[in-house]
């Protein structure tokens, strides 16, 4: 069990869970704490305020709906990318991972339209506590989407030279876990902000 043995055999750990996977789960645990804090904050602020606009009256529900589908689809393509990596089908893997990245971009672009429309009506985070919550939470989620895109793009780039690396498939799996997490956060954000 030297340092190099650890690196080459990801399963050679006491718990049997590869280091990367355990690390990622712990990271996600901290992310859960981060977002639950924000959701709690949202709840507390809403309960304390005299009036709170109905999400569907002031926000663009159809665009958000579209974005929900985009993200769910991207989760599916991510799963497929992982499956193709596992069955060593490089071409299909590249295709699905590329699609996932592209869908991430679509999400951001749609979001950009949403933000743009608000700004053009002179609505900004400082407008009201509702918009403060809206922009901050969706903004932070957007940053997580960007993070996921960067991660996936790096993996796509590495796939050409690291395809046979023993940890490669594992890395795709972890990137997938992260991407699903970002997706799940949106699944909570969407009803909380737009539908309630």
Partner 1 sequence: MAHKKHDAHGSQDFISKYVFSVDHKVIGLQYLITSLLFLLFGFILLMILRWQLAYPGQPIPLIGRLLSDNLAPGGVLSPTFYNALGAMHGTIMIFLGVVPLGVGAFGNYILPLQIGAPDMAFPRLNMMSYWVYLPGGMLMLLSFFLPGGAAQSGWTSYPPLSVINPGQTVWLLAMLLIITSSLLGSINFLVTALNMRAPGMSLWRMPVFVWAQLVTAVLLLLAFPPLQAAAILQFMDRVAGTSFYLPANLVVFGETVRAAGGGLPLLWQHLFWFLAHPEVYVLILPAMGIVAEIIAANTRKPIFGYKEIVGAMIFLGGMSFVVWAHHMFVSGMSPKLSNFFLITTMIISVPSVALLTCLIFSLRGGSIRFTTPMLFALAFLPLFGIGGLTGLPLGLSTTDIYLHDTYYVIGHFHYVVVTGSIIALMGGVYHWFPKWFGRRMDDFWGKVHFWGSVICMNGVFFPMFIQGLSGVQRRLYDPTAQLHNLPTQPLNIVSSVFAWLLFVAQIPFIWNFFYSMFKGKKTEENPWKATTLEWACPSPPPHGNFEKTPHVYRGPYEYSVPGHKNDWTPQHVEA
Q: Which residues bind partner 1 (CB under 8 A)?
A: 1-3, 6, 13-15, 17, 19, 22-23, 26-27, 29-31, 33-35, 37-38, 41, 44-45, 48-49, 124-129, 132, 135-136, 140
The nearer residue to partner 1, 35 or 179, going by C-beta atoms, is: 35
Q: How distant is the alpha carbon of residue 137 from its chain centre?
A: 13
Q: Is 122 left (phi over 0), alpha (psi -120 to 50) or beta?
A: left
Q: Min. distance of Cβ 108 from partner 1 in angstroms? A: 19
Q: If you search the block for the tokens 């969407």, which residue do you land on?
A: 190
The nearer residue to partner 1, 50 or 164, going by C-beta atoms, is: 50
> Which two structure tokens, joined as six digits, stand for 67?
């974005």
Q: Are 140 and 132 in contact (CB under 8 A)?
A: no
| H or E element at residue 115 | helix 90-120
Burial of 185 (0-12, 13-18, 19+ CB in 10 A): buried
Q: Min. distance of Cβ 3 from partner 1 in angstroms? A: 4
Helix (H, G, I), strand (E, B) or coil at 11: coil
Q: Min. distance of Cβ 150 from partner 1 in angstroms? A: 16
The nearer residue to partner 1, 51 or 62, going by C-beta atoms, is: 51
Q: Min. distance of Cβ 6 from partner 1 in angstroms? A: 7
Burial of 63 (0-12, 13-18, 19+ CB in 10 A): middle
d(CA 177, CA 142): 17
The nearer residue to partner 1, 89 or 162, going by C-beta atoms, is: 162
The nearer residue to partner 1, 77 or 148, going by C-beta atoms, is: 148
Burial of 131 (0-12, 13-18, 19+ CB in 10 A): middle
Q: Min. distance of Cβ 183 from partner 1 in angstroms? A: 19
The nearer residue to partner 1, 12 or 89, going by C-beta atoms, is: 12
Q: Min. distance of Cβ 27 from partner 1 in angstroms? A: 6
């Amino acid at each position: 069990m030297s340092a190099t043995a650890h690196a080459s055999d990801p399963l050679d750990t006491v718990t049997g869970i590869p280091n990367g996977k355990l690390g990622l789960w712990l990271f996600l645990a901290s992310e859960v704490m981060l977002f639950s804090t924000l959701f709690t904050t949202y709840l507390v602020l809403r309960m304390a305020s005299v009036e709170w606009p109905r999400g569907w009256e002031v926000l663009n529900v159809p665009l958000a709906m579209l974005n929900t589908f985009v993200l769910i689809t991207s989760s599916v393509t991510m799963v497929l990318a992982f499956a193709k990596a596992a069955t060593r089908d490089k071409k299909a893997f590249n295709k699905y991972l590329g699609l996932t990245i592209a869908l991430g971009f679509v999400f951001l672009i749609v979001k950009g339209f949403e933000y743009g429309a608000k700004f053009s009506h002179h609505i900004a985070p400082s407008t009201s506590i509702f918009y403060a919550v809206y922009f901050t939470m969706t903004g932070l989620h957007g940053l997580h989407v960007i993070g996921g895109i960067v991660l996936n793009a790096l993996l796509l780039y590495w796939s050409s030279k690291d395809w046979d690396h023993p940890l490669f498939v594992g890395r795709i799996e972890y990137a997938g876990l992260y991407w699903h997490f970002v997706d799940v956060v949106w699944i909570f954000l969407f009803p909380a902000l737009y539908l309630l």
